[in-house]
């Protein structure tokens, strides 16, 4: 099965102080054929979150490096680079659902691919429900 993975769900999986039973159960239930789609911005969000976590002493340098290696091995596929048409779709979705353009990129990807979204973000979850997009942890 395919899912769109956002940074909130990813960080709940890897940062000790953001752990979530819902996220753990979801990831533990995945099979070998399951994989994730992410918008290109996901890589920047995760890199920044891991650097910030290390700077704030939430992660050691070794933990950050191990997580970075883990992300290289996970079945994650980045969506193609956005273009002007994608920018229009992000803006439309953001305005319709009162989201940031960043969060709208996740919803747009899930809608375009016809797959569910793994997120813990309250506003993005509400937008998914309103848009008819399946949630990994309802």
| Domain 2-131 -> CATH class | alpha beta
What are the structural domain ranges in the chain?
Answer: 2-131
Maximum Cα interatomic distance, the chain, rounded to a whole number of Å? 42
pLDDT digits (tens, 9 = 90+) for 60-119: 999 999 999 988 888 999 998 788 888 899 999 999 999 999 999 999 999 999 999 999
Q: What is the pLDDT of residues 17-56, one digit of tens each?
A: 898 899 999 999 999 899 999 999 999 999 999 999 999 9
Residue closest to 110 by CA, chosen among 24, 17, 9, 15: 9
- C-alpha 57/C-alpha 121 separation (Å) is 24
CA torsion angle 39 44 47 51 (round to 10): -150
């Amino acid at each position: 099965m395919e899912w769109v993975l956002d940074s909130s769900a990813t960080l709940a999986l890897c940062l000790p102080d953001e752990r979530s039973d819902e996220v753990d159960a979801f990831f533990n239930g995945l099979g070998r054929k399951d994989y994730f789609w992410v918008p290109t911005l996901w890589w920047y969000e995760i890199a920044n979150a891991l650097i910030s976590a290390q700077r704030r002493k939430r992660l050691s340098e070794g933990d950050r490096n191990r997580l970075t290696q883990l992300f290289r091995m996970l079945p994650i596929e980045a969506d193609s680079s956005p273009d002007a048409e994608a920018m229009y779709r992000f803006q439309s979705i953001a305005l319709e659902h009162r989201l940031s353009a960043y969060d709208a990129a996740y919803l747009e990807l899930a809608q375009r691919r016809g797959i569910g979204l793994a997120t813990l973000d309250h506003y993005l979850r509400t937008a998914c429900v309103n848009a008819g997009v399946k949630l990994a942890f309802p």
